């Protein structure tokens, strides 16, 4: 089983993630983690923080000579801004600079977190609730992608919509073109309109949300199980993607469109093609039937609310004076849908790597490969 645990505050010294359960013998270097960390930092509409940070993960344990050992992998991402936050985030009481934030921000964990932990400074809450933590998830996800890549599984994402602007999807998404777009749009015309919409929101002191889509190609049929509610792959993916900060909805395949369509326009017709085996004429199910992968690409949509921190702060309350105030402003992004897609890829990759290991086991890459190949031979005989 592959699992991971992150630690670290947004303006703390560093983020750390431990990835446990990766088989031995997987080639892994820091360079394998760099591209996704850079992709998470991009996208038109990001704020000042992303100009300061240049995320790089250092591999601290679990790898020797460029190959995993089968032991826990520790990854470490240094916060570049640490020098400016040393006093505010001091671990020691000695030298701690405290300027309590009491004007809680709507749409953030500030108020609920202060009530929950008995805090009198929203800084104690927002530092961990911040989506800075998603950098650690992306580093862990890159490890999962590296494992999946050995089995021909590739995980991509694109921006489906920003605000009211929706991409018109081409028959086949050109992933290189998506990465070249400033908003990671598969539709250049919609991409240009999305950039303009973000600029408009920035000028108005407002923010925008939207929708990203993650596509995992090359997934074998039979991952996940209908055995129990918590073994269904659809549920595992939904939980993983919904856990991304500001993600307020997850849909699979035809998802939120399906309730408005008759069954005959939703369900995919199974077929058998000589030499290729079983498949489907369409993929409206998003590669999942009965909580199991069905061999088609897995398609997961994440619906992102608009960013909560507004340049023109919303009305709020001061938890100390209990008086109405304008919300505290903390340096912020305008739109993060393109970046959230990259985080979505990481979460989907981590779930898929886990169910792959659950089905095929193996302490080393050769052992896992042997098990997968045996299953592929079994499928080919059908
Ligand atoms: C990659 C990424 C970057 C984010 N950056 C910001 C930001 O700069 N400002 C902000 O207010 N929210 C940002 N968010 C969203 C907040 O972290 C999130 O809305 C907040 O923690 C409350 O959680 P909830 O929206 O899930 O309830 C970001 C989310 C993601 C995925």
CA of 259 to the centre of ligand 1 (A): 29
pLDDT band at 320 (very low <50, low <70, confident <90, very high): very high
List the residue whose alpha carbon is closest to atom 3 of ligand 1: 131
- CATH of residue 70's domain is 3.60.150.10
CB 309 less than 6 A from any atom of ligand 1: yes
Q: What are phi and psi of 25, to 5 degrees?
A: 95, 5
Q: Please determine, for residue 8, whether its predicted confidence score (pLDDT) is greater than 90.
A: yes
CA of 18 to the centre of ligand 1 (A): 23
CA of 244 to the centre of ligand 1 (A): 8
CA dihedral 76, 77, 81, 86 (to 10 degrees): -20
Q: Please determine, for residue 50, whether its predicted confidence score (pLDDT) is greater than 80.
A: no
The CA distance from 352 to 344, in Å, is 12
CB 74 less than 6 A from any atom of ligand 1: no
pLDDT, tens only, 179-224? 999 999 999 999 999 999 999 999 999 999 999 999 999 999 999 9
Question: What local confidence, expressed as pLDDT, does residue 85 receive?
Answer: 96
Cα separations in angstroms, 71 against 24, 60, 68, 125, 352: 8, 12, 7, 32, 20
pLDDT band at 331 (very low <50, low <70, confident <90, very high): confident
CB 55 less than 6 A from any atom of ligand 1: no
pLDDT, tens only, 110-168? 999 999 999 999 999 999 999 999 999 999 999 999 999 999 999 999 999 999 999 99
DSSP per position, 303-364: EEPPPS--SSPPEEEBTTT--EEEPP-----S--HHHHHHHHHHHHHHHHHHHHHHHH--SB
Total structural domains within the chain:
1
Full domain range(s) for residue 76: 3-380
List the residue whose alpha carbon is closest to atom 22 of ligand 1: 108
CA of 288 to the centre of ligand 1 (A): 29
CA of 307 to the centre of ligand 1 (A): 6
Question: pTM surpassing 0.85?
Answer: yes
């Amino acid at each position: 089983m592959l699992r991971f645990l992150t630690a670290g505050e947004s303006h703390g010294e560093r983020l750390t993630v431990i990835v446990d359960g990766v088989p031995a013998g997987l080639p892994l270097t820091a360079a394998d983690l760099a591209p996704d960390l850079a992709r998470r930092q991009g996208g038109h509409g990001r704020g000042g923080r992303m100009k300061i940070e240049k995320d790089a993960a250092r591999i601290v344990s679990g790898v020797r000579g460029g190959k995993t050992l089968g032991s826990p992998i520790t990854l470490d991402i240094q916060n570049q801004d640490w020098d400016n936050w040393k006093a505010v985030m001091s671990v020691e009481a000695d030298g701690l600079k405290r300027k309590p934030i009491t004007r809680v921000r709507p749409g953030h964990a500030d108020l609920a977190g202060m009530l929950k932990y008995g805090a009198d400074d929203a800084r104690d809450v927002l530092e961990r609730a911040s989506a800075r933590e998603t950098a650690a998830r992306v580093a862990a996800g890159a490890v999962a992608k590296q494992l999946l890549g050995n089995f021909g599984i590739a995980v991509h994402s694109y921006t489906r919509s920003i605000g009211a602007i929706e991409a018109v999807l081409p028959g086949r998404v050109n992933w290189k073109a998506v990465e070249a777009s400033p908003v990671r749009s598969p539709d250049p015309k919609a991409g240009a309109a999305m950039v303009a919409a973000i600029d408009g929101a920035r000028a108005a002191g407002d923010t925008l949300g939207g929708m990203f889509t993650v596509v995992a190609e090359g997934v074998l049929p039979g991952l996940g199980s209908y055995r129990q509610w918590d073994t269904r792959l659809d549920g595992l993916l939904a939980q993983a993607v919904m856990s991304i900060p500001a993600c307020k909805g997850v849909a699979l395949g035809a998802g939120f469109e399906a309730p408005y369509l008759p069954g005959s326009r939703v369900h995919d017709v199974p077929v058998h093609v000589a030499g290729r085996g079983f498949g489907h004429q369409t993929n409206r199910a998003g590669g999942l039937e009965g909580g199991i992968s069905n061999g088609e690409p897995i398609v997961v949509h994440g619906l992102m609310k608009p960013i909560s921190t507004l340049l023109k702060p919303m009305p709020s309350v001061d938890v100390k004076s209990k008086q109405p105030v304008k919300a505290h402003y903390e340096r912020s992004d305008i739109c993060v849908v393109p970046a959230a897609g990259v985080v979505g890829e990481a979460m989907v990759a981590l779930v898929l790597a886990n169910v792959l290991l659950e089905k095929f086991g193996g302490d080393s890459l050769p052992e896992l490969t042997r098990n997968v190949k045996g299953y592929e031979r079994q499928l080919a005989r059908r």
